[in-house]
Structure 1
Amino acid sequence: MKAKSAFFQIRRLLCLAVLGAAFYSHAAPPFSAKIHAGTIERMQRTSEPVSFVNIEGAIANDEVNPVDIVPDGLRVEVAPGDGEVFLIFTVAVLPNRSLSTLDYRLRAGGAEHECKGMALESNNAFDLRRVVQKGPAMVKLLFSCPETAEEATLVNAFPNVPLTPVPTITLIEKTTPPPEPEAEVAAEPAAEGAEKTADAQKNASEKEETTAETPETTEEADKKAEDAKDKKTAAADKKPAAKEKKPAEEKKPAAEEKKPAAEEKPAAKPAPKPAPKPAENLWF
């Protein structure tokens, strides 16, 4: 019985170990990566503040060159800008090799970003005075990029110098949204569309029924309208065309229209009849 329980415990531990290894391999960036100065051991993406050396305080203490041990009094915390994150590359510099903050730029979010500083892994304080580090050494390079950048890579800042290219780093893994919520959202418009279609079909059928109930009335109305139209056309044809008005003739002056009648000569008076002769007095 004890052997059986021990077997199950061992099996459980093995399952947990396999799951942990799978998670670690899924989350780890694609490093180690070989570069001209050595090897990039790992990369860290963070939105937390990081330590910088207070240059003004160091110069006040006559510390012009970078030091290996940075006291707490010379450390200041610097946070990334709004909408940005820090990317920290830990690099193992080989002997007889050197790494500079000017060797690489970070390409992410459609732009290139310069290195913000270098720190020794031992003191973990980025020092602007530390521009070049000779190996062997473990150093950190600090870059910033937009927090929405999904991928990043280190590109050669000097195209004429043959530096080893760095592979693309996945910063944010793309996740496929679950299809169920989308299906539910799509189903609601489909149901609404089906209801609207059903209502439209119902209205169309009611309209067809109403039209089917009174076909004769519609036909009679159309016939009456056509007859009235024909009558109007016939009446219009019978009307004589309006006579065109002739232009008024110019009236001739009265003198021309009516000439004065020729002077009539007075009619000849009839000759006076001769006075009858007195009868002869036969008595004398």
Structure 2
Amino acid sequence: ERKRDVSFLTNLPDASEKLKIFEADLSDPESFGPSVEGCIGVFHTATPIDFNLTEPEEALTKRAVDGTLGILRACLKSKTVKRVVYTSSASAVSFVGPEPKDVVDEEDWSDVDFLRSWKPYGWSYAISKTLTEKAALEFGELHGLDVVTLIPPFVVGRFICPKLPDSIEKALVLVVGKKEEIGITRYHMVHGDDVARAHIFLLEHPNPKGRYNCSPFIVPIEDIYQILSAKYPEYKMPTVLEELKQIKGAKLPHLTSKKLEDAGFEFKYSIEDMFVDAIECCKEKGYL
């Protein structure tokens, strides 16, 4: 059986004392039992992703929902888990229907029927995240398990995995891509370290409820161009500012994070921090 290289995790500082890796598979929910046994909190961040549509949407969604419910059952069975923080996605709130909204909050849900008919980029992923988040919250209510969900947008900043994350590749398309690949004209964004901090914040919060958007910034592509061209003039942008204004693409809604901030969370990183950390990390790993 093929073993995955997890050295990027085992080589982290203090990993030998603080990190324990279990073998588990979303398609085999029972396999998660040993990993949650004795735990008081669980962060569920894993999800199947298939942007190339090699798998039918229904099959992808079923794997995501069944895997998540299996993990929640393991948490329930453990008798020790007090709270589960499920990592959702901006795609579960952004596509509300034919009439897009400029700002969305935790009351908004992506319209699954609309996604199936319109089929924007990543539509099957958006459906799977929407239905899986709903299933997780419903399971928690039904079984008395404390489940809260965190909804991040494009996560930008430093990364530890060897592969270039899709969100960073999309955010840095002006540097690592081509003009014709720009399919988004306004991005919702958050620094990766702030997402990690928000997970911990919700786990430790005395009484969180339901869903929490985690998206401090809404950034037009013109602003991205100005930040990158000023900070990194050595990279030849594939276009100029005037041409950017002519690009047709998705103008993503702003995910207001008022609920999370009202609960006491403070975002630490700026827009420039996100891009500087992402580019420096890409340079270190040989992507730039």
TM-score for the superposition, normalised by structure 2: 0.19
Structure with higher Rg: it is 1
Per chain length, whose mean CA-contact separation is higher, i.e. which structure has more relative contact order (CA < 8 Å, sep 6+)?
A: 2
TM-score (normalised: structure 1): 0.19
